[in-house]
């Protein structure tokens, strides 16, 4: 310990003379006292600082040896006096100092929050610690709270190169082998990740962007009953793809290969089945809307065979719904052009009826593409919309709801701060990173009304929490209104990619947020169709990867 003037350690002089009393006072008030052995400090009785390090966090909490880590912590002076002019501290890894830092004087009860970005750590179990005043130069009230530590398990992750196969195997059940491939240039073509050969059973998972905390959260799941697995990611994006190979049983040696292009990709098919026809021209507009989405979705889904014992009963989704006893590739949409409520009321209603899920023994439910859905169109309003050229964008809008836009966000964890049932004006927003990036590119970096991407938040059943916010997006196709420009923007297309669909981003129509247009003007209004309560309130049956009914998702409020 040091005195305020930098004196060396001292020992208190026993009382008995006036000088001794003065020295005792100096010792207590300024430097504190040592014990009889000369080593054990006694806390000062006068004002003194008390440095505390707490709130230590490591992100990600399960890093790999290829990922940088962010170390967060707080330095707090809990004492009743200021610190000296500079406060030193160290960040240590397994007891070795990796960085020494100094901060300015901390007043009594002052705190500073730090975020330190660190290079990747070696694989294994690592202790990360923050140590204040490592040389014990600052006289404090309590020296025991100057250190905070956390232990993290750093996983091994191997870098892959395009067209350079690697051999993988595991003799341990449930082992997860991690890989990463970095793409320098984007291309609207398929990224093929293939595991082939060897004995046993391995499952493969592939994900673009930030690595999920568990491999079951990856976008592509390939879980065949062998070690021949294929994930095709469309498009090939710039950035990092993560690959996880899970040993369902011991497997290998198998070959893991990543290529771009060179393999066909199953196209996405939408089968339109009319339960109630409109006029021939109206029916053709509905088919054209299906073809529009077939051009946007660039990768097929797993075919499901409902023949025999796997048949789906009639009327499960809605009254008059046919039974299903055949194979579906990839999406079947039942369409009814019939009376809903006459002119100007409910124009349309739509949503999925059955949805694919994947489940493993130890995983949460992984929600995937819709397999069956329904669109209702009011026959009186259809005639009016066709005459005004708005029937096609309305049906394209409704088919997006069948695909899952606004109707499966909550189950996929992609929407936050819901306004329903009674949270009018909530900061409802879509959190998918690809849609957020597209929103920013369209001018969303200037948006100051809340979190991105803003979602309709008027607490209106069938409309709110399921459309883009009309006051921000104006004439984008997926607001609760259709009219004006009704652009199918990159934001909407990328929201489907966030839901797990492979997409062709070149199919996006030109769109910028109104704030970036000349004069900040909205589109000319003209005729606009208020879709209102257009999200279907019916149950969604969940079908697992073997075609079995695995549960039912009830409408909100049931």
pLDDT digits (tens, 9 = 90+) for 440-490: 999 999 999 999 999 999 988 889 999 999 999 999 999 999 987 799 999
**When comparing pLDDT for 272 and 341, which is higher?**
272
- pLDDT tens sequence across 232-267: 999 999 999 999 999 999 999 999 999 999 999 999
Residue 248's nearest CA partner among 232, 226, 271 is 226
The fold for domain 157-260 equals Jelly Rolls (2.60.120)
The domains of the chain are located at: 1-46, 51-153, 157-260, 270-553
Q: Does domain 51-153 have CATH number 3.40.190.10?
A: no
Summarised one tens digit per residue, pLDDT across range 205-230 is: 999 999 998 898 899 999 888 889 99
Measure the CA–CA gap between 4 and 46, rounded to whole angstroms.
Answer: 12
Return the minimum-mean-pLDDT range out of 31-40, 410-419, 464-473: 31-40
In the block, tokens 């709110």 appear at 464
Helix, strand, coil % (nearest 5) of the chain? Answer: 15, 35, 45
* pLDDT above 50: residue 9: no
Rounded distance between C-alpha atoms, residue 104 and residue 298, angstroms: 56
Q: Rounded to an integer, what distance in angstroms lies between the CA atom of residue 321 and that of residue 338?
A: 14
pTM: 0.85
Specify burial of residue 418 (Cβ count, 10 A radius: 0-12, 13-18, 19+).
middle
pLDDT higher than threshold 50 for residue 523: yes
Cβ contact 402:351 at 8 Å: yes
Position 10 pLDDT exceeds 50: no
The residue with greater pLDDT, 434 or 22, is: 434
Q: Please report which confidence band the pLDDT of residue 517 belongs to, taking 50, 70 and 90 as the band edges.
A: low
**How many Cβ atoms are within 10 Å of 283's Cβ, its own excluded?**
15
Mean pLDDT of the chain: 89
31 pLDDT above the threshold of 60: no
Name residues whose C-beta falls within 8 Å of residue 428's C-beta, 6 or more positions apart in sequence: 415, 416, 417, 418, 419, 454, 455, 456, 457, 464, 465, 469
* Residue range 22-31: mean pLDDT, rounded: 31
Could you tell me what percent of the chain has a pLDDT over 70?
88
What is the structure's pLDDT at 38? 45
How confident is the model over 262-291, as a mean pLDDT?
97
């Amino acid at each position: 310990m040091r005195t305020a003037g930098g004196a060396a350690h001292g020992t208190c002089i026993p009382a008995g003379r006036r000088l001794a009393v003065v020295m005792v006072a100096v010792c207590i008030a300024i430097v504190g006292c040592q014990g009889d052995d000369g080593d054990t400090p006694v806390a000062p009785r006068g004002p003194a600082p008390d440095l505390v390090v707490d709130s230590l966090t490591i992100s990600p909490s399960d890093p790999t040896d290829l990922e940088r880590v962010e170390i967060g912590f707080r330095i707090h002076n809990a004492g009743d006096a200021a610190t000296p002019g500079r406060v030193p501290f160290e960040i240590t890894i397994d007891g070795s100092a990796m960085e020494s830092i100094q901060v300015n004087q901390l007043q009594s009860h002052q705190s500073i929050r730090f975020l330190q970005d660190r290079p990747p750590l070696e694989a294994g179990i690592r202790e990360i610690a923050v140590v204040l005043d490592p040389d014990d130069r600052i006289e404090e009230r309590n020296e025991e709270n100057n250190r905070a530590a956390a232990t993290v398990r750093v996983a091994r992750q191997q870098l892959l190169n395009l067209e350079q196969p690697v051999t993988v195997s595991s003799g341990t059940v449930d082992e997860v082998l991690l890989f990463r491939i970095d793409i320098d240039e984007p291309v609207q073509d398929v990224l093929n990740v293939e595991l082939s050969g060897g004995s046993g059973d391995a499952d493969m998972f592939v994900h673009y962007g930030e690595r999920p905390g568990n491999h079951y959260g990856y976008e592509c799941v390939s879980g065949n009953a062998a070690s021949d697995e294929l994930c095709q990611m469309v498009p090939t994006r710039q950035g990092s793809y993560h690959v996880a190979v899970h040993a369902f049983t011991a497997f290998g040696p198998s070959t893991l290969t990543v290529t771009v292009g060179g393999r066909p990709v199953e196209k996405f098919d939408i089968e339109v089945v009319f339960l109630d026809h409109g006029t021939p021209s109206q029916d053709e507009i509905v088919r054209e809307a299906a073809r529009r989405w077939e051009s946007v979705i660039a990768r097929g889904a797993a075919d499901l065979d409902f023949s025999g014992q796997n048949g789906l009963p009639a009327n499960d989704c809605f009254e008059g719904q046919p039974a299903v006893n055949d194979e579906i590739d990839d999406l079947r949409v039942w369409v009814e052009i019939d009376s809903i409520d006459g002119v100007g009321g409910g124009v349309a209603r739509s949503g999925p009826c059955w949805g694919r899920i994947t489940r493993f023994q130890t995983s949460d439910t992984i929600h995937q593409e819709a397999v069956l859905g329904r669109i209702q169109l009011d026959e009186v309003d259809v005639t009016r919309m066709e005459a005004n050229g708005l029937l096609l964008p309305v049906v394209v809008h409704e088919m997006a709801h069948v695909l899952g836009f606004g109707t499966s966000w909550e189950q996929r964890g992609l929407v936050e701060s819901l306004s329903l049932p009674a949270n009018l004006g909530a900061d409802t927003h879509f959190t998918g990173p690809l849609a957020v990036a597209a929103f920013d590119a369209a001018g969303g970096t200037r948006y100051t009304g809340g979190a991105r991407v803003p979602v309709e938040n008027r607490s209106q059943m069938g409309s709110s929490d399921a459309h883009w916010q009309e006051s921000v997006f104006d004439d984008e196709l997926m607001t609760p209104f259709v009219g004006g420009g009704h652009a199918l923007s990159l934001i909407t297309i990328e929201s489907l990619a966030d839901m797990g669909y492979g997409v062709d981003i070149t199919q996006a129509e030109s769109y910028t947020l109104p704030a970036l247009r000349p004069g900040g003007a909205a589109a000319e209004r003209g005729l606009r169709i208020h879709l209102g309560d257009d999200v279907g309130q019916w149950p969604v049956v969940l079908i697992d990867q073997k075609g079995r009914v695995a549960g039912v998702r009830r409408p909100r409020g049931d």
